[in-house]
Amino acid sequence: MDDVSRPSAFRFLKLTIGYDGTAFAGWQEQPGLRTVQNELASAWRRITGETPRLTASGRTDAGVHALGQVVSLCTSSERPEGELARGLNAVLPEDIVVLAIDPAVQGFHATHDALSKTYRYQIHDSRTPPLFDRRYVWHVRQPLDIERMGRAGGGLIGRHDFVSFQTAGSQRTSTVRTILAVEVTRLASRVDITVTGDGFLYNMVRAIAGTLVEVGRGARDPEWVAEALSARDRAAAGPNAPALGLVLVSVRYAQGSDE
């Protein structure tokens, strides 16, 4: 989304936002579709009169949620950060919330300056369907063995070519990424797969989740995940998990990216 001509005096801001992705066609502006970027830009225009250039840490897909999406922009508005946050929350739809607005260093870029991101994939493993969180979890109708899933996830840690876990449709100069941590935890019928990495390919976390579920339900051995990674073939890994269970939890930046 293009901005108006840059004013002579401007400052960079770092917005941290959360959203329920259920009713959105993803983050990125798309003509005729409801997106997070469109709604946030519209709200910014209402309270400042500016047409902003909004850059997110990553373009979440349709149905994907966020607890800590980071957005950068520059503005000529002199309104304090807290006042801007309150103004945005007053006019935004109820499925987007501005959690914080902080001053950022000149040139701060939410995508390029990110050091790592943490995603969580949420599963309800029970014969009984979920009720209150049904829009935020993948319902798997059998108990999952999280110990096996955790062992399998360990085979993904490190710097590897993750082409086996990338869905076609996004052009990348490299499919090599570094996974820093994979953790599988349970609370009652809720299983969470938490993945932290320096970057992710298109649908990569959903492919990891779908693959680990194959291990958790006993269809595959834990060692299969490392074999699928080495195959460098999308057909060698498991299916993509549905979008509704995926949440962007947080994005980490170098100290000094905001002030």
The catalytic position among 20, 61, 145, 258 is 61
| Helix, strand, coil percentages in the chain from 3-state DSSP, rounded to 5 | 25, 30, 45
Structure tokens at 247: 């949440």
- DSSP-assigned letter for residue 258: B
61 is catalytic: yes
| Burial grade of 255 (CB within 10 A; 0-12, 13-18, 19 or more) | exposed
Q: Is 119 annotated as a binding residue?
A: yes
β-pair type (55-56, 246-253) = unpaired
* CA–CA distance, 37 with 251 (Å, rounded to integer): 18
CA distances from 128 to 139, 193, 216 (A): 9, 20, 18
Q: How many contiguous H segments (helices) and E segments (strands) does the chain have? A: 5, 10
Please identify every residue annotated as catalytic. Answer: 61
Binding-site residue set for substrate = 119
**Annotated binding-site members:** 119
